[in-house]
Amino acid sequence: MNYETLIVDREGAVATVRLNRPDKHNALNARLSQELIDAFDVLEADDGVGVIVLTGAGEKAFCAGADMAEAVGGGPTGESEAIAPAAPAQAVARVLRAHKPVIAAVNGYAYGGGAALAANCDFRIASENAKFRFVGASYGLVVGAFQLPRIVGAAMAKELMFTARTIDAAEALRIGLVNHVVPLGKLASTVDELAQATAANSRAAVLASKEVIDLATSSDAALKREMDVNRELRASDEHRERFQAAAERVTGEKGD
């Protein structure tokens, strides 16, 4: 499994998938998104893999969401036009569809699609420097509304999504967004201990447990509505304007 933007390691029945664009804060561009989908397809088809760990390269970011520089392209008139690429959303959705247990090792900030990516894992272990922000409303989109209520409850999910505010690791632990917070230097070993413990148990029972819990807490209607409403919102002038402005801020800050 050789990729340009991913590192995939294997230790026994535990596979670690590492987003590997640290210079771009592990933002999801088209290539990384496609490689992430492919890696999950391969690992889920491998009977030797019992647990997948998802993390980011470096010590600053788990995933910054969609690559804003790539998401802003030239329009037919030569003017800059904001677009919302399908690839990052498809990659985030692929993690949600995993039938094997997926543990997020959140090694820094997780914003936008990166926060949704972490939320789509079965549970999350965060380093002390981790931060989360569900920025969808500020871009004119709905990102995470399907998942957040089942993790933190409806009222807190609404607060995080309506305000798009940033929360640190301590608050994420308090509200139940993450299971544990540990020093960055202990993140990998803590996650590996949990992953190996999971992999040591009955594979059939673990998979069935995940299936039953997901059935008990998820809503197909809510997921479909989030997808449908985003198709409508992406076509709006407000989304284009907000996404364009956000992209210009982000690329300007990074000097792109």
Q: What is the pLDDT of residues 2-53, one digit of tens each?
A: 899 999 999 999 999 999 999 999 999 999 999 999 999 999 999 999 999 9
More confident residue, 244 or 255: 244
Q: Region 192-200: what's the mean pLDDT?
A: 98
Specify the pLDDT at position 78. Answer: 35
pLDDT above 50 (res 236): yes
Contact 136, 177 (CB under 8 A): no
**242: pLDDT confidence band, cut at 50, 70 and 90?**
confident
pTM above 0.75, yes or no: yes
- Lowest-confidence range among 58-62, 91-95, 136-140, 242-246? 242-246
Within the chain, residue ranges assigned H as helices are 30-45, 68-71, 86-96, 113-119, 136-139, 148-152, 154-163, 169-175, 184-199, 203-217, 220-234, 237-254
- Lowest-confidence range among 11-20, 78-87, 183-192? 78-87
pLDDT above 50 (res 88): yes
CA-to-CA distance for 13 and 84, rounded, in angstroms? Answer: 36
**230: pLDDT confidence band, cut at 50, 70 and 90?**
confident
Q: Region 55-73: what's the mean pLDDT?
A: 87
Specify the pLDDT at position 84. Answer: 43
Query: What's the chain's average pLDDT?
Result: 90
Percentage above 90 pLDDT, the chain: 71
CA-to-CA distance for 157 and 184, rounded, in angstroms? Answer: 26
**81: pLDDT confidence band, cut at 50, 70 and 90?**
very low
Q: What is the pLDDT of residues 114-136, one digit of tens each?
A: 999 999 999 999 999 999 999 98
Specify the pLDDT at position 160. Answer: 97
CA-to-CA distance for 131 and 168, rounded, in angstroms? Answer: 4
CA-to-CA distance for 1 and 15, rounded, in angstroms? Answer: 11
Specify the pLDDT at position 98. Answer: 97
**109: pLDDT confidence band, cut at 50, 70 and 90?**
very high
Identify residue 240 by its one-letter amino acid code: R
